[in-house]
Chains A and B, each alone.
Chain A
Amino acid sequence: MKRGRVNITSKCQGFSSTEGRIKRQKPGPLGSSLAQRPAEDWGSLPHHVVLHIFQYLSLVDRARASSVCRRWNEVFHIPDLWRRFEFELNQPATSYLKSTHPDLIQQIIKRHAQHLQYVSFKVDSCTESAEAACNILSQLVNCTIKTLGLISTARPSFMDVSQSHFVSALTVVFVNSKSLSSIKIDDTPVDDPSLKVLVANNSDTLKLLKMSSCPHVSPAGILCVADQCHGLRELALNYHLLSDELLLALSSEKHVHLEHLRIDVVSETPGQTHFHTIKRSSWEALIRHSPKVNIVMYFFLEEEEFEPFFREETPVTHLYFGRAVSKEMLGRIGLNCPRLVELVVCANGLEPLDEELIRIAERCKNLTAIGLGECEVTCSGFVEFVKMCGGRLTQLSIMEEVLIPDNSYNMEQIHSEVSKHLGRMWFPDMMPTW
């Protein structure tokens, strides 16, 4: 499919050959004035103009443009163009994606490390890629990095890097940047001591910390962060790190309002983990301190492991059940989650969830989004549910198989009935039945 390709490069090359001359200009007012002043040409555009144009180009195109003339090359290296960079580290054997060229990486480290402010690393499932990321990190010494993201795009390859290698690379950035505000280190072998280093150097500026599934961190480690980083507005972690003390620390007077708390609940040994409970009073303290906080919980448990949850009022706002969740649990959620905004259920079972849904509609007055996967709801029950909260639902994503036709409604009727109550056209989500 080659239609419509516009080759910027050829245009640039065209310009390079006109450096110092005018070419293909029709005689006209502009042409003639340019002819009279041959020094004014593309190569001598003011830097800020070229900079502005360069900001629209992809890196590859910019790199090509930079070899056109000296001025353009200077512009290419203006710090403004190097504030934000995403290092992509992939191996052909493990990924379809290309990798940032090693020469470019070298150039950045040499000339632009000090300009980098918003940096991310995307690595594939190969350990080599994660190691390469760590090597780059270790060299970012004279930096003022504000945002750092370590993102594994497939399997978490950072976990395969030796822990000491990873931690020492990470602490280079922690120590040198001193103004980190946003850090994403999910699925990495970060540990308590590195968090201490982070806190020691960036406690005034840290606003966002995402560290889900970091098995080497303990509750004490994260508590240290909460205690010292009073500007922390967003935190993502696993349930085993959550404690009453943590919630209280986040609610202390000195602490700003927390805006977003994401908690992943995953069992270490499936079927055998027992989860601790968080006291209701701790939750209440958090809500008193930060009334608008989003509390997002993702559950990946087996049905028996849910026992400790939602026995009392829990201020969760966004719930995702990545595996089957029992009817009873959904009943409890209706009872105890008054702040619920979004509920997404991957699977339940073969008993209709009518009652549970209706109770959720009744008691979760803030509910605006719901998604149901492999569940069953009778059409009448569903219509009842929509009647009660349709007006406030912006997302209603129900798999087609969920709805069970009954005496009152069949599949044709259900979509018009629901559309009526929602105030817009609605259909269930479909999967190809071919």
Chain B
Amino acid sequence: MGNVPTTVKHCLSYEQLIQDYPWLKRWLQEEKTITGHEYPDFVKIVEVGPRDGLQNEKEIVPTGVKIQLIDMLSGTGLPVIEATSFVSSKWVPQMADHSDVLRGIQRAPHVRYPVLTPNMQGFKDAVAAGATEVAVFGSASETFSKKNINCSIDESMLRFEEVINTAKEQQIPVRGYVSCALGCPHEGHIEPSKVSEVAKKLYAMGCYEISLGDTIGVGTPGSMLKMLQSVMEEVPAHALAVHCHDTYGQALPNILTALQMGVCVVDSAVAGLGGCPYAQGSSGNVSTEDVLYMLHGMGIETGVNLAKVIEAGDFICNALRRETNSKVAQATGRTL
């Protein structure tokens, strides 16, 4: 019945129908509201724990532990696991062992292992280490771009264009990230039009998917809705992903909003790894376990085994000597 309004509009003269039966418009609108939103049947989870998660952990994690974490995640059914970042070790010491990690992991069939490549040097090193998918990281905030990667948004786009063109020649898919999509630690409010401008550029350049990141977790379903409405005018929903941080506890309702808008790719990190460098001691990435619990509870398939993700989370938290940020893991581990 949820499709009836669309069918009515396309098969008949909707305007004529509404003129003849004015009550019909209200009935059709009401029905959609009562039965609720439509949700995707399947959501692809992009696991960013080993990269975005560990990158924001204070303790340097031994290479062997990183490899074991990724290998455990490879056995959970996760379709995409962001393995590492080919960024200069001067800037991100946690990722200094990028080549060893990429070479050391046991790649599961049907699982993709993208790596971050901020520039051509990184891209070349990534390919030499066996990368088969890469990602580039843009920002919707000029100030954040300058402070984070030392150049303006436009300059970063030129850099990425080089990477994307080279990647195309080698048939390596590229994923684009837009950070600060719902707010910036320096600029505060970010206009949705700026986010769509950057998303559009990355998509037009050839990124197959654009992940919109609420970098400091300040977004709410209100700002998520507005931002997605703007971005969806430029990039089709099927090419979008949301990367929500849980710093203000808003990640799950924000993800829910995105699903209601037609987004069906969600980034998350096992055990909610990775704090927030802008709010000392606060959480960062949303936990994969908590996202899975919600999606499965809604009857949405992910192909992921929650219990195995919890195991991987336990492993890395033990190794890091820290508590999990996942509420599902906390509750499951302590049920009386």
A binds B: no
- Report A's interface with B, CB cutoff 8 A: none
- Report B's interface with A, CB cutoff 8 A: none
